[in-house]
């Protein structure tokens, strides 16, 4: 009887252009590749922030998976939600000032959506991890000093909680501590296990 040849584990691909998500996924110490999804991120008319995040996360995963049918693909998206209004990446200084002024003294819910798909087996899961962030009452001098120091113009909501941006906040409420940075690792590890990749067994040790 011929010896059983073990089936190699599937490739893991992060469908993202975000360096923050790439750095977060590296914490799981599992080999992965990165492929940039070609997805139009324009919100639909009247689309709620949570729905937008979920739609884009799944669209990113599907778009990349269409080119890598043998892989497990992660897609993720985050939209800041201020009373039902989506707040995206500012892209520049003045827009960041306006965003932080609008969030001063208020609670913003960062809607982080995660999709994991494996075309070869038909596996597809989508979930969302909301993070409630309460901003302090911020003066213009504080806003200006923060933005000049950290220049978070590629971050939804104009603040990096993992850096100096933590000084802008009164509280963070979440069940998954990395969700605010852009990739909920507790949920990611869970969905990868379901898709056939156990990060503890795949890690180099």
pLDDT in tens, the chain (205 residues): 555 555 678 999 999 989 999 999 999 999 999 999 999 999 999 999 999 999 999 999 999 999 999 999 999 999 999 999 998 889 999 999 999 999 999 999 999 999 999 999 999 999 999 999 999 999 999 999 999 999 999 988 899 999 999 999 999 999 999 999 999 999 999 999 999 999 998 765 4
Q: Which domain does 65 fall in, by range?
A: 12-200
Give the pLDDT score at 5: 59
Identify whether the C-beta of residue 39 lies closer than 8 Å to the C-beta of residue 60. Answer: yes
Helix (H, G, I), strand (E, B) or coil at 18: coil
Residue 5 falls within a domain, yes or no?
A: no
Q: Which of 123, 124, 101 is nearest to 114 (CA)?
A: 124
Residue 76 falls within a domain, yes or no?
A: yes
Kindly report, residue by residue over 73-128, the tens digit of the pLDDT.
Answer: 999 999 999 999 998 889 999 999 999 999 999 999 999 999 999 999 999 999 99
Residue 184 falls within a domain, yes or no?
A: yes
Note if 170 is an active site residue.
no
Per DSSP, the residues of 19-67 read HHHHHHHHTT----EEE------PPPTT--HHHHHHHHHHHHHHHHHTT
Give the pLDDT score at 6: 59
How many domains does the chain divide into? 1
Residue 104 falls within a domain, yes or no?
A: yes
Q: Please name the residues in contact with 93: beta carbons below 8 A apart, sequence gap of 6 or more.
A: 147, 151, 153
Residue 81 falls within a domain, yes or no?
A: yes
Q: Which of 40, 70, 77, 175 is catalytic?
A: 77
Identify whether the C-beta of residue 51 lies closer than 8 Å to the C-beta of residue 19. Answer: no
How many other C-beta atoms are found inside a 10 Å radius of the C-beta of residue 111?
A: 25
Pairing of strands 12-15, 33-35: parallel
CATH number for the domain harbouring residue 55: 3.90.950.10
């Amino acid at each position: 009887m011929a010896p059983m040849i073990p089936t190699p584990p599937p490739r893991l691909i992060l469908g993202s252009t975000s360096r923050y998500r790439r750095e977060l996924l590296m914490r799981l110490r599992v080999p992965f590749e990165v492929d940039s999804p070609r997805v139009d991120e324009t919100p639909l008319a009247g689309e709620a922030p949570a729905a937008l995040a979920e739609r884009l996360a799944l669209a990113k995963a599907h778009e990349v998976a269409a080119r890598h049918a043998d892989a497990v693909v992660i897609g993720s998206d985050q939209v800041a939600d201020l009373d039902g209004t989506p707040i995206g990446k500012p892209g520049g200084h003045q827009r960041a000032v306006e965003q932080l002024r609008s969030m001063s003294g208020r609670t913003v819910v960062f809607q982080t959506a995660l999709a994991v798909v494996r075309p070869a087996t038909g596996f597809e899961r989508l979930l969302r991890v909301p993070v409630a962030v309460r901003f302090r009452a911020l003066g213009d001098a504080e806003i200006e000093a923060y933005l000049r120091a950290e220049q978070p113009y590629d971050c939804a909501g104009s603040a990096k909680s993992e850096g100096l941006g933590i000084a802008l906040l009164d509280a963070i409420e979440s069940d998954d501590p990395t969700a605010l940075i852009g990739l909920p690792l507790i949920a990611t590890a869970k969905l990868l296990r379901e898709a056939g990749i156990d990060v503890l067994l795949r890690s180099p040790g």
